[in-house]
Amino acid sequence: MTTIAVTTWSLEQTAPTDLLPAAVPQGDVRAVRSEVPSPEFSRFLYASVGGDIRWTDRLGWTYAQWLEHLDRPGVETWVAYDRGTPAGYVELEAQDDGVVEIVYFGLIPAFRGRRIGGHLLSYGVARAWDLAERWPGRKPTRRVWLHTCSKDGEHAMDNYRRRGFRLFDTKVEEEPESATPGPWPGAHPA
C-alpha cells in the first residue's frame, strides 16, 4: 500500500476580537443555519465539498450515525447560499469549557474563487463566538479552533490566517493514499 505524508496544522482564536472579517461578496450570498438535523443534506454537503480533497472519514457513516451527530446540543451547520443554491458550509461543534471546534468548512468546487469562502468562514467564526447564546446552559465561547491539512484546498491555510487564526500545533503523519472520492465518479476532475 502506498502512503503519503500529510501535514496537519491546528489553529485557534482566543478572543472574539481575533476575528478579521472578510468582505461580503457581491450578489445574493447568504449564510443560513440548517436548524433541522438532516443526514441527507449534511451528507450531500460533506461529499460535495470534500470529494475532491479526500474527505473520507464520514463516507461510511450510516443514517443513524449522521442523525446522532447532528442532533447533539451545540452542533450547528451554517450553509452559504448563492442565489438560493448551496455553495458551501461550516460545521461547528461545542466542546467542553467554552471551546468550539470548526469541524468542517469548505465550498462546493463550482463556487470556489468567488470570494464566498472568506465571507462564510468569517460568518461561521462569528457564530462560533456567539454559539452559547443559542444553546442555554453552554459556557460562553473562550476559544475557537480548527485543523487543516496538506490535503485540503490550496487556499485554506491563507484564508484561516487572514481571518485571524494563529497556528498552535503541527503534525506530520503517513497515511494510506486514497483516490479522491468526489460526490460521484468523474466529478470535478483535477
152-185, pLDDT tens digit by residue?
878 899 999 999 999 999 999 998 887 766 666 6
Residue 75's pLDDT is 98
Residue range 112-132: mean pLDDT, rounded: 96
Residue 154 pLDDT? 80
Query: CA-to-CA distance for 99 and 154, rounded, in angstroms?
Result: 27
- Quick: pLDDT tens for 24-62: 999 999 999 999 999 999 999 999 998 888 888 898 999
With a cut of 90, say whether residue 66 has pLDDT above it. yes
> CA–CA separation, 87 vs 110, rounded Å?
8
Question: Residue 12 pLDDT > 90, yes or no?
Answer: yes
Write down the pLDDT at residue 189. Answer: 47
Q: Which of the two residues, 124 and 179, has the higher pLDDT score?
A: 124
More confident position, 185 or 141: 141
State how far the Cα of 155 lies from the Cα of 113, in Å rounded to an integer.
9
Helix 63-70 × helix 39-50 angle, to 10°: 100
Structural domains of the chain, ranges and CATH numbers in brackets = 3-176 (3.40.630.30)
**How high is the mean pLDDT of the chain?**
92
The candidate with the shortest Cα–Cα distance to 61, out of 79, 40, 89, is 40
- pLDDT tens profile 75-115: 999 999 999 999 999 999 999 999 999 999 999 999 998 99
